[in-house]
Structure formats: C-alpha cells, structure tokens
Amino acid sequence: MEDPKSNNLKITFFGAAQEVTGSCNLVESPSGKRILVDCGMHQGSKLNEEKNREDWPFNPSSIEAVFVTHAHLDHVGRIPMLFRSGFKGKIYSTAPTKDLAQLVLLDSSGVLEKEAGRHGGETLYDNKDIEVAMSHWEFLDYHQTISLGDLTFELLNAGHIMGSSMIKISYNNKKVLFTGDMGNYPNPFLRKIEDVTDVDTIVMEALYGDKNFAEFGDTSLKLERIVEGIEKNKGVLMIPAFSIERTQKILFQLNDLMEHGKVGQIPVFLDSPLAIKATQVYEKYSHLYFNEEARNFILKGDDLLKFAALKMTIDTQQSKQINKVPAPKIIIAGSGMSNGGRILHHEKLYLSDPKSVLLIVSYQAPRSLGRMLADGAKMVNIMGEEISVNASVVKLEGYSSHPDMDKLLKFVEGDLSILKKVFVVHSEPETALFFVQRLRDYLGVDAYAPEPGETREI
C-alpha cells in the first residue's frame, strides 16, 4: 500500500501503456495538484476503439490542467469528453498544436456523428464540446515556463510534427520528461528533436524500439521508382497517409521529383479535407517552426508543399471525380491505417488492379485493415464487399515521424549522468519489453514498461 504522506510525484499510466494509442498520463503532486499529460483516443481495431466509451478511471472535475504534446488524435481525441464529464481546467500546448488539434477534433466529430447515425447511440462528443475545449485552450512557446502550485512545466521541441512538444515537469529538485511522440530526423522542414540532459526520469515513446529503418532521404529514390512504374504501367498509386506530417513529407518529395523532372507531371490528388487544412497550418507557422534550410527555400520563393500537378479535393463531389481521371495518377487520402476515410473508396476500386500500387508509409495497428494489407492479405472486406488484392503492396518506413531503435537509444544516452528511470510507453508489448531490455543491457538504465492503470512514484 502506498504511503499517503509520500513526498514523491505519482504518475499513473492510463493510456498507451504496452499499447500504441490512447495516450493519457495522470501526474499527482504531494500538494494535491492533478495534471494530465495528453488525453487521446484509442485507435486501430473496433475492440480498441471501444475503450473510448469506458468510464474515466479518475474524476475529470479533479483535474486542474491538461498539457498536450501534439495534435494527433491518439493524444488529443478525448479532451472534449473531459469537458462533457465535468472538467473545467485549462489546456496548454504550442500554438500550432492548438490549431491542428481543432482541425483533428472537428474531423473526428464528423466521423463520430456518421457512425452514430449508422449504428445508433450517442456520440462521444460534438462540435459544441470542441468549442468549449478551444475556449479553455492556451498556447505556450518552447522554453516558456508556467507554474501550477508546486509543479513547473516547460515545453521542448519534440520534432515529431508541427508544434510537437516534450513536457518537462520540475518539482522539488526532480525533473521528469514526457517525450510524447518524438521526431525522426533528418526532417525536410522541421527542426530536430532537442537534446535533454537534465532530467532524472523519462516517460518515452518506443514505437520502433525493436527495429531500425532507412533515413527519410533514402525514400526519395524508392518513391521515384514507384512513380516511374505507375507511369509506365498506367496504374494508380494509392497512399493512405496520416493527415499531419506524413502527408506533408510526401508532398515535399513529389514536389521535388516533379520540379526537377525526375518523374512526369502526372496528376496528384490530395483527397483529404483534414490534410489540406493541416497543410495550411504548416504554411501559417513555417516562419517560426521550420528549420533553417526550409525557411531559406521559402525566402527564395519556393513553395515546398504545392506544385502544378497537385489537385486538392475538399468536397465529396470533387473526390468522386478522381475516379474519372485516367491513370496514371497518385491519390493521397486518409486514414493512415485504412480504417476509415476516403482511402477506403479508392482501395475498393483499385486494389484488385495488378497495375496499381498501395504504398504504406505509416504504422499500422494490429487488426486494422492497413495491417492486414501490410501483412500480405490477398482478400479483404471493404465496406461490406470482398475485394481481391492484386495490386502491389509496398512498405516504406523511412517516412516515419518516429525515431527508430538506435535514435531512441541515442536520445537516452545523452542523459545518463543523472538519469535514474525510464518508463517505456507508446509501444506494442513485445516491442516495449525488447526496448526495455536494450536500455538495461546497452546503457545500464533502470527501465520499465508500465501496465495500463499502473501507478509509479518518482
């Protein structure tokens, strides 16, 4: 039994513990302050998504604030539900994270509303709940500190997506770092993840804690070859992509390939309203959050994310017109795991075509349609129809916005002088345990993969 008079911080891992999605960590100070770091949705399979309807494992009205690492749905998706359940506190993040989160939540609300219409039942939240959340949302700059009682918070650049942050919490000469999702580098436009050397505890992601993969730059030649094949065979290149960061990286490379004549000017359709709006947020904050090289390109008049062959299809009717455009063509659409969104309509139409290619550039959760396709399924069910998979399925992991194993180890290695504990989260169980052992064996770090709902003191 825990000592009620303990002078330590308590962390309870209510999400993304030995699983990838649903990030939610409760931090409690001895003075009674209760803070959440992220409050995201569980995603992937139907079974996993049902967790979003479970009762809160804490009293939302007792939470004073939520600090958000970044705007992906599995980190922000349940924030409107907090307000619906009695939370009245503040939300803190960078400015781009707030803007992107609003887009992500509104998009999710539309999906939830459609699902409720098809299957009955109440939506998890609606646009009014999002409006309430945004009215309580404040933004901080990197390295700006804010104190809540005996806790001090600082946001550091995580390099994952636009505005992504690591949350450093200081208390009584102790410092704990929540990495959220960290970035892969080099990145074509975002700054590299910051080095952190002054914390004694790290709660860190390890999505790819058991593998290494190609650098982003190595993907350009591979993408060029794929596009050449599509041109030659008059096929369709389908790219299920997460709307934030992955899509922008792909646009950047296609722009480069076409601008320099490495491939022909074949039509590229960005068939995702969310991705289109997210790209506009990237452009809005480019002068503050892009790296020096990208800013210099922009100063020279080069638009990194737009080019002549790119067509953005906002409404449903425009999306349907894509089918009438003859191949070859490239379609980028959500969702990244093929578990919803417009990509399903394109996959339903073109997966049976042996001239076409499905390019997987994102993590695919177990039991998701994307995972089945990545694992080589030859027959899949899409919207109630059995579809034979004759198209080529190609995986390119160099687009990942997450570090691989060696980069994760290098990040921890910079902090060994005072580091006492690492908690490994945002990882499938086997990967988490593998990376924990790597930290112990290679760096001599006391590492642990917490169970869901487990509380630890630091």
Phi and psi, residue 422, nearest 5°: -125, 125
State the pLDDT at residue 44: 73
Distance separating alpha carbons of residues 424 and 413, to the nearest angstrom: 15
Q: Is 273 found in the same domain as 415?
A: no
Asked if the bond preceding 57 is cis, omega within 30° of 0, the reply is: no
State the pLDDT at residue 304: 75
| Residue 2 counted as domain residue | no
Q: Is 384 found in the same domain as 420?
A: no
Q: Is 393 found in the same domain as 316?
A: yes
Q: Is 118 found in the same domain as 51?
A: yes
Distance separating alpha carbons of residues 8 and 3, to the nearest angstrom: 10
Burial bucket for residue 315 (CB in 10 Å: 0-12, 13-18, 19+): exposed
CATH number at residue 309: 3.40.50.10890
Q: Is 386 found in the same domain as 415?
A: no
Q: Whole domain around residue 207: which residue ranges?
A: 10-211+401-457
Q: Is 407 found in the same domain as 386?
A: no
Q: Is 180 found in the same domain as 249?
A: no
| Residue 53 counted as domain residue | yes
Nearest to 295 by CA among 188, 204, 173: 188
- Last residue of some domain: 356, 380, 399? 399
What is the number of structural domains in the chain?
Answer: 2
Distance separating alpha carbons of residues 179 and 380, to the nearest angstrom: 36
| Residue 192 counted as domain residue | yes
- Last residue of some domain: 362, 381, 399? 399
Q: Is 417 found in the same domain as 339?
A: no
pLDDT tens series, the chain, 458 aa: 445 567 899 999 999 999 999 999 999 999 999 999 999 999 877 767 889 999 999 999 999 999 999 999 999 999 999 999 999 999 999 999 999 999 999 999 988 887 777 767 789 999 999 999 999 999 999 999 999 999 999 999 999 999 999 999 999 989 999 999 999 988 898 999 999 999 999 999 999 999 998 777 778 889 999 999 999 999 999 999 888 988 999 999 999 999 999 999 999 999 999 999 999 999 999 999 999 998 988 877 777 788 999 999 999 999 999 999 999 999 999 888 998 889 999 999 999 999 999 999 988 888 899 999 999 999 999 999 999 999 999 998 788 889 999 999 999 998 788 999 999 999 999 999 999 999 999 999 999 999 999 999 99
Q: Is 255 found in the same domain as 198?
A: no
CATH number at residue 87: 3.60.15.10
Q: Is 376 found in the same domain as 235?
A: yes
| Residue 3 counted as domain residue | no
Q: Is 174 found in the same domain as 63?
A: yes
| Residue 410 counted as domain residue | yes
